[in-house]
């Protein structure tokens, strides 16, 4: 048995690559299935936040409107 990746033969390298590809595809498949489980679809709504009056904060914990 060879314990070094540097002196491993071609079949050992191929096994490592195949295991890495299968694991990567499993992770990607799990991520896609977890993301697309919502029923909202891809619709997005924009929320508008309007600015109010300017406020200056003082050390007395009261706000002063300028």
Q: Are 64 and 56 contacting, i.e. CB atoms less than 8 angstroms apart?
A: yes
Task: Enumerate helices (H) and strands (E) in the chain, giving the number of each.
Answer: 1, 2
For the question of whether the overall pTM of this predicted structure is more than 0.85, the answer is no
| Strands annotated E in 1-66 | 55-57, 63-65
Sorted by sequence, the CB contacts under 8 Å of residue 62 that are 6+ apart come out as none
Sorted by sequence, the CB contacts under 8 Å of residue 63 that are 6+ apart come out as 55, 56, 57
The per-residue pLDDT string of the chain (66 residues; one tens digit each, 9 = 90 and over) reads 667 777 888 888 899 999 999 999 999 999 888 875 555 556 667 788 888 888 776 676 566 566
């Amino acid at each position: 048995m060879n314990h070094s990746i540097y002196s491993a033969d071609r079949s050992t390298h191929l096994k490592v690559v195949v295991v890495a590809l299968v694991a990567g595809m499993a992770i990607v498949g799990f991520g896609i299935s977890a993301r697309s489980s919502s029923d909202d679809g891809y619709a997005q709504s924009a929320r508008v936040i309007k600015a109010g009056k300017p406020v200056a904060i003082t050390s007395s914990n009261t706000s002063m409107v300028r």
